[in-house]
Homo-oligomer: A and B are copies of this chain.
Amino acid sequence: MTKWRTALTCIEQNKILVRGYPLDEVMGRLTFGEAIYLLLMGEVPSPAIGSLMEAILVSFIDHGITPPSTLAARNTATTGAPLRACVAAGVLGFGRYHGGDIESCMQFLDAGLELVRKGMPYREAAKDLVKRWSTHREPIPGFGHRFHTRDPRAARLFQMALELEIEGQHIQMIRAVEILMAEQPDGAQPVNIDGAIAAVCGDIGIPPEIANALFIISRVPGIAAQAAEELEREHPMRSIDPGSHVYDGAAQRRLPDKRR
């Protein structure tokens, strides 16, 4: 019988090789974010790409109790289910309308870049894109947010991409769309974090299905923390109204000097 193949991790007795590197050698030498890149992409990232990976993963780590995926996890926790069941329920809520924008925004940007490669200026390609999506009454993927009129995570990610000198065609494309939309009377929807991640992933060569995996990986700590808080602070079988919560954690503060 033909054997099936895997290229990720080689297990032998007392030896674990992730993409060829002994896992015990990787421990303490690559960060978790770099190891995630290694596992998914096959190679150790350059320092610049490693920094962006960390920033992408940090950017999605939690969004409070508002996302339905988080509420699914909390509703599971209140039944007394174990943490892994709560996390699984939360992950299932990364549906079409929640996190799905990264993949569709990458396709959107690639559709524009196809025109650019044929010689069309970015601005014209952006016009063409927006017109096409509007004709199908599809929202422009990667723009707008339920809560934020300006997504602070997107701005920070673009700034890092600029400083680390990895800005490329995808970021140029999404900026052209953003400028175009800002000019429209009703269209002042800024780039959201999904859009920023889509553009940065495009520019550093991460394909859509891996970008999608990054989104899932990045939010799991938030889901787990929320479920753990529910299990610890609340009584079982409560009725969870997302509108009637209040934040009672640490007041706004700055990172310690060494970290800035």
CA distance A54 to B33 in the complex (A): 9
With a cutoff of 8 Å between Cβ atoms, the chain B residues found around residue A236 in the complex are 96-97
A36-85 CB contacts (< 8 Å) to partner B: 36, 39-40, 42, 44, 51, 53-55, 57-59, 61-66, 68-69, 71-73, 75-76, 78-85
With a cutoff of 8 Å between Cβ atoms, the chain B residues found around residue A184 in the complex are none
The residue that A100 contacts in the complex, of B6, B65, B80, with Cβ under 8 A, is B80
The residue that A9 contacts in the complex, of B30, B64, B254, with Cβ under 8 A, is B64
CA distance A36 to B60 in the complex (A): 11
CB-defined interface of A6-49 with B at 8 Å, one 1/0 digit per residue?
11111101111111111111111111110110011010100000
Q: Does A210 contact B (CB under 8 A)?
A: yes
A210-252 CB contacts (< 8 Å) to partner B: 210, 212-213, 216-218, 220-222, 224-226, 228-229, 231-234, 236-252
Closest residue of chain B to A40, judged by CB? B225
Q: Does A118 contact B (CB under 8 A)?
A: no
Among A61, A72, A79, A259, find the residue whose CB has the most chain B CB atoms closer than 10 A: A72
Chain B proximity of A22: nearest CB distance (Å):
7
Chain B proximity of A41: nearest CB distance (Å):
10
Chain B proximity of A256: nearest CB distance (Å):
6
Which stretch in A108-116, A124-132, A150-158, A166-174 binds the other chain?
A150-158
CA distance A225 to B84 in the complex (A): 19
With a cutoff of 8 Å between Cβ atoms, the chain B residues found around residue A26 in the complex are 58, 255
Q: Does A209 contact B (CB under 8 A)?
A: yes
With a cutoff of 8 Å between Cβ atoms, the chain B residues found around residue A92 in the complex are 76, 81, 84-86, 88-89, 92
The residue that A65 contacts in the complex, of B6, B23, B55, B84, with Cβ under 8 A, is B6
Q: A6-B248, A8-B222, A32-B58 are in contact. List 8 more A-B contacts (CB 8 A).
A: A15-B152, A17-B250, A27-B58, A35-B61, A72-B73, A83-B212, A88-B89, A209-B231
